[in-house]
Amino acid sequence: AQRILNCGSAFYPQFATHNAHTLASIVVMSGHRAYEFQRLHGMGEGLYKLAIEQKQLTQYCRVYAPVGSHEELLPYLVRRLLENGANTSFVNQIVDEQTPLGQIIANPIHETEILQHKRHPHIPLPRDIYAPQRLNSAGINLNDPDALAELDHGLEQALLKSWIAAPIVGGQTLAGEHRTVSSPADRDHIIGEVHLADAEAVEQALSLAHAHASDWNHTPAERRAEILDQVADMLERNRYELMALSIREGGRSLRDALSEVREAADFCRYYAAMAHQDFAKPRVLPGVTGERNELRLSGRGVFVCISPWNFPVAIFTGQIAAALAAGNSVIAKPAGSTSLTGARIVSLMHQAGVPAEVLHFLPGGGAEIGMALVRDPRTAGVAFTGATDTARQINQALAQRDIIVPFIAETGGQNAMIVDSSALPEQVVTDALYSAFNSAGQRCSALRVLFVQEDVAPRVTALLSGVMDELAIDDPAQLNTDIGPVINDAAKAGLQQHVDRMRQEATLVKTLTLPEYCDNGSFFAPHVFRIESLDQLTHEVFGPVLHIIHYRADQLHKVVEAINSTRYGLTLGIHSRIDATAQYIARHARCGNTYVNRNMIGAVVGSQPFGGEGLSGTGPKAGGPHYLHRFASERVLTINTTAVGGNASLLSIRDEDEAAHPTADAPPTALR
C-alpha cells in the first residue's frame, strides 16, 4: 500500500478491505493523496458507517458485488465463508465482545518474532520428510531469483560442454565404431560422440561381472548402502551437468530435467535404506524349540539393466541402484538415444565407490548387444523399461534358456482419465493437459484417452481448447517451455502417421502451430481428437496426442470394462467429487497406479511405487518396498540347536514369569 501511494499520479489507488486495522493504516499512510476504499456488498457496512460518522474517513467507499452464474459465484462465496468464518479471522474476532482489543490488533510479525521456536518442532523440513529412513532429494525453488541465477549460471557452463560415451568395462574405456550425437531440439547442434559396444566388449563385461558378483554380494549390505548414499550425493553435486545432458540429449524440459536428477537421488537413497532393512541381517522365523530358522536375501549374480531414453537419468539410475543394493553385479545398457547421459552417470557411480569390476556400461550396438546379454547363461536376471514389443522379445529369449531367471519389466500403457459431472472443470483441464503433454507426451504414464461424461463435455472441451493456446513450444532449456521435442525424426514420423489416420477417422478438437524455432528439430505439435470408441486406438501413441471420448452417466461400468479390455494396466486418472464413484472405479480397474483429482504422472519414490500389470509390466513396483526382493534369492538356514546343548532360553522362562508375576510363596529357582 505504501509503495502504491508513493507513486503519485501513476496510480489511482483502490483498497478493498473489511478490516479496521487495514483501514486505519491506509488513512495514516495516505496523507492528502487521492484514493478510495472498496467493500463487498453486505460486508463491512458498519465499519465504514462508523468511520464516516467519526470523520476518520473522507474518501470514497465503493460497494461492489460479484456477478455471474452459479459456477462462478459458488466457489467465490465458499472462499469468502472460509476466509471470514475462520476462528482467527478479523471479521470473526471483531464481533466477539470478550476478545481484548489488543489481541484483535496484534501485529502477527511481532507475535512470530517473540516465539522461542519459529518452526514447529514436529513439522519436518522438506529435506527430512522421510527421516529417519533417508534424506529427501534436494530441489531448486524456481520462483526464487537467487536460486534461478545460480541455476542459470550452472546450466550455462554445463551446456557448453561436449560429451563422449564409450563402453566402460572394468573401469577401462574401450574404443569402437563411433557416431556423433545431435540434440533433438536442434539437429545442427552436435553435443557429443558415442563409441558403440561390440561382441568383444560384451564378453569382457560378462566375464568380469560374473567373476566379481560373489565378492560384491558378500560386501556387507551396510557398505553397499553407504556407497549408494554417496552416489546420491554425487548426483546432486553434479545436477547441472546431468540436467544439461537430459535437456540436450533427451529433449527433456528444464523442470523435467530437475525432477529426473531428484528422482535418481531418491532411488539411490531409498534402495540403500531397503538394503539396510532387508539385507543387513537375516530374518528370524518362528519354529519349534530345538531349532533356529533364518531367512536371508542374497544377490543372484549378474543383472542386465536395459533402460529407456525418456527417463535417461532416473530410470537408468534406479535400475542399477536396485540391482547393486541387492548384491548383484550390473551390466548397464542405455537406450541408443541417450548414451551420453548414461556414461556420465556410470562415471559418477564409480567415483562414488561402486567397484569398477561390478558395474559395466555398454552403449549402442542395437538389439544385437541387448539380446546377446539376455541369452548368455551368465546373466542371472534382466531389468527392462521400454516398449511392450521389446519386452515380449526379451521374455521369449529368456524362455529358451535352461534356467528360469527373473525378468522385471515396466512397459507402456493405454492410460485413461475418467471425468464425471461432479468434477471441477478447471482442475480437470489443468491436470489433463499436464498429464498428456508434459515431456511432449513421452512418458509411459502419460494420459492418452480422456473419458468425459457428456453432461460436462462441452464445457471441459472449450476450456481445454482455450488453455492449449497458452502452451509454449520451444527450446527445452528455457524455463517457460511447456513442450519440447520428441526424441527423434522416426518418432515424429510415427506420430504424424497416427495423426493423419485420426484426421480421417476422428474429429480434430484442437492443435497448435509450431513456431519457427522448431523447424530444425524433431518437434511435434500437440493434438486433441474426439473419437467414438477406445477400439479406434490399436497401439500406444507415444507423444503429445490426446483422445477424448464422451460417455453417459449410466455407462460408467462400460468405460471401466473398455479400459480393462485393452489389457494395459499402468496409470489411471479419476476426477470426481463423489467419493463412492472414485472408489468404484479404483476397485474395478485393473491398473498399477490410480490417481484421484490430480494429474497422473510423476510418481514419487517411496510414496507412489510405480509399475503396471498385464501388457504394462511384470512388477514389483519401482521405488516400492518389494522391488529389491525380485533382484535377490531367498535362502533359508535351519539349525538344529539340540546338537550343541539345546535351547538354553527355556531355562530362563520361569525367571521371566516370576519377574512379571511375583508371589510371596514362590519356591526358589533350582537352575540359574
Residues annotated as catalytic are 410, 444
Dist. CA 24–CA 43, nearest whole Å: 17
Beta strands across the sheet bearing 329-333: 172-173, 168-169, 359-361, 329-333, 302-306, 379-385, 407-410
Those residues with Cβ within 8 angstroms of residue 165's Cβ, 6 or more apart along the chain or in another chain: 192, 193, 194, 195, 339, 340, 342, 343, 344, 363
Classified as helix, coil or strand, 465 is helix
How does DSSP classify residue 639?
Answer: E
Residue-wise DSSP of 44-73: SHHHHHHHHHTT---SEEEEE---S-HHHH
* CA pair distance 612, 51, nearest whole angstrom: 65
Q: What cell numbers appear for 547 in the block?
A: 483422445
* C-alpha closest to that of 271 among 647, 632, 635: 632
254 phi and psi angles, rounded to 5 deg = -60, -45
Q: What is the DSSP string of 158-178?
A: HHT--EEE--EETTEEPP--E
Cα of 656 vs its chain's centroid, Å: 51
Cell digits of residue 352: 562414488
416-419/571-575 β-pairing: parallel
CA–CA dist 382, 408 (Å, integer): 6
Cβ contacts of 300 within 8 Å, gap of 6 or more: 326, 328, 380, 381, 405, 406, 631, 632, 633
The sign of the CA dihedral 284, 288, 291, 295 is negative
Q: Do 179 and 151 meet the contact criterion of CB atoms below 8 Å apart?
A: no
Please tell me what DSSP assigns to residue 603: P
**Single-letter code of the amino acid located at 627:** Y
Distance CA 438, CA 600 (A): 11
Cα separation of 70 and 388, whole Å? 47
385 within 8 A of 319, measured Cβ to Cβ: yes
CA distance 216 to 356: 11
Q: Angle at CA 508, nearest 5°, toward 451 and 417? A: 15
Q: Which of 487, 619, 600, 602 is nearest to 543 (CA)?
A: 487
Q: Which of 319, 410, 331, 311 is nearest to 374 (CA)?
A: 331
Instruction: Name residue, grid cell 535377490.
Output: 632
How far is 454 from 418, CA to CA, in rounded Å? 12
